[in-house]
């Protein structure tokens, strides 16, 4: 038996050759029933698209670029690892490959964009860690290059496709839960002002307190990490004696719980602590946390970028904001 072809898959699935092509390249235009039947035939026959021929026909490399930011702490940094794994798996389903590279700052990253476009013919980019005055997005927009960001264009208009998680909704869920549990002195441990995602998470906590009629609660901004969380908890306990803590990350929350234990305060019994990111460490240690739908975010990033590559973007930039959920454990 020879190598399976588009025609043999079409015959096995009792569909047209064009339908098989649509399932591979534009699955959203095919009905779920037909798509499943074609995918089953592809799997059964072991069909693989001829990538080289497609690249010659479309002049596309099927390569998507992603810059890996400098490694942070080993707790919250796992979120990027989860995103990268899900992004790669989703991209491979559409015969795209992810090319990873590093850069020290925004300017270095844009230089890398230019080099990769010239040397590899890269099709588009996925950006992470968006921030105020993001040079990278301006550079790509000016050159009309396809890209999507995991993160909102903080402080700017929606001028490009983006996918993000509603951090304010997550901390609001945490705060509302603590209010229902009877807490009235609910502190926030976050990052220094100016971080888009950090400010967003702080806003959800503040909105929860306001809705409960609790006024302005105690808060401290520190750099991310367990030690930052520990020092923030010490200062808050000495000045305000909170009975609950909402944290911008699991790393900070773990530092808070460590400080509580050192002071003989039992997390979950004497004081409540809720983190953000629902990392594997949080699950192992019983830390309550806000979970982000990272796999959904990655899949949507690939879908948005593929739409841009096909030139099908509408007049308004495509944006998606996912809602996280609260995972309650022992703290």
Report angle CA 284, 326, 87 to the nearest 5 degrees.
75
Rounded CA-CA distance 150/128 in Å is 5
pLDDT number for residue 19: 87
Q: In tens digits, what is the pLDDT along the chain, a chain of 331 residues? A: 567 787 888 888 898 888 887 777 667 778 888 888 888 888 888 776 655 445 444 456 789 999 988 766 556 678 889 999 999 999 998 889 999 999 999 999 999 999 988 888 899 999 999 999 999 999 999 999 999 999 999 988 788 999 999 999 999 999 999 999 999 999 999 999 998 999 999 999 999 999 999 999 999 999 999 999 999 999 999 999 999 999 999 999 999 999 999 999 999 999 999 999 999 999 999 999 999 999 999 999 999 999 888 877 665 568 999 999 999 999 9
Q: Residue 127: what pLDDT? A: 96
Cα 258 to Cα 267: distance, rounded to the nearest angstrom: 9
CB 167 within 8 A of CB 197: yes
- Residue 48 CB partners (closer than 8 Å, separation 6+): none
Rounded to whole angstroms, the Cα distance separating 203 from 159 reads 24
Place of tokens 């930052």: 228
Q: What is the pLDDT of residue 316?
A: 58
Do residues 79 and 248 make contact, with C-beta atoms less than 8 angstroms apart?
A: no
Locus of tokens 């006024």: 215
What pLDDT sits at residue 57?
45
Q: Which helix (H) or strand (E) holds 73?
A: none
pLDDT score at 50: 56
- Report residue 51 as tokens: 């990538």
Q: Which residues contact 326 (CB under 8 A, 6 or more apart)?
A: 170, 173, 174, 177, 274, 288, 289, 290, 291
Is the pTM higher than 0.85? Answer: no
Q: Which residues have CB under 8 Å from 264's CB, separation 6+?
A: none
């Amino acid at each position: 038996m020879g190598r399976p072809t588009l025609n043999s898959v079409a015959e096995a699935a009792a569909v047209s050759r064009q339908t098989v092509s649509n399932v591979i390249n534009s699955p959203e235009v095919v009905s779920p029933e037909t798509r499943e039947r074609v995918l089953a035939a592809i799997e059964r026959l072991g069909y693989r698209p001829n990538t080289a021929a497609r690249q010659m026909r479309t002049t596309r490399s099927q390569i998507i670029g992603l810059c890996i930011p400098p490694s942070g702490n080993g707790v919250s940094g796992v979120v990027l690892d989860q995103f990268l794994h899900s992004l790669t798996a989703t991209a491979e389903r559409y015969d795209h490959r992810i090319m990873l590279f590093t850069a020290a700052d925004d300017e270095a990253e844009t230089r890398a964009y230019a080099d990769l476009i010239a040397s590899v013919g890269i099709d588009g980019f996925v950006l992470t860690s968006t921030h105020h005055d993001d040079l990278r997005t301006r550079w790509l927009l000016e050159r009309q290059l396809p890209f999507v960001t995991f993160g909102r264009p903080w402080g700017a208009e929606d001028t490009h496709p983006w996918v993000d998680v509603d951090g304010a909704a997550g901390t609001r869920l945490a705060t509302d839960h603590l209010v229902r549990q009877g807490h009235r002195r609910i502190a926030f441990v976050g990052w220094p002002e100016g971080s888009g995602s950090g400010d967003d998470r702080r806003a959800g906590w503040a909105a929860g307190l306001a809705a409960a009629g609790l006024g302005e609660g105690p808060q401290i901004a520190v750099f991310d990490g367990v030690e930052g969380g520990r020092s923030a908890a010490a200062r808050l306990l000495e000045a305000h004696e909170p009975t609950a803590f909402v944290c911008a990350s699991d790393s900070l929350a773990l530092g808070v719980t460590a400080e509580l234990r050192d002071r003989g305060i039992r997390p979950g019994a004497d004081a409540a602590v809720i983190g953000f990111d629902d990392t594997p460490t949080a699950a192992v240690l019983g830390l309550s946390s806000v979970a982000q739908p990272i796999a959904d975010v990655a899949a949507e990033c690939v879908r948005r970028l593929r739409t841009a590559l096909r030139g099908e973007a509408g007049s308004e930039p495509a944006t998606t904001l996912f809602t996280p959920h609260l995972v309650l454990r022992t703290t």
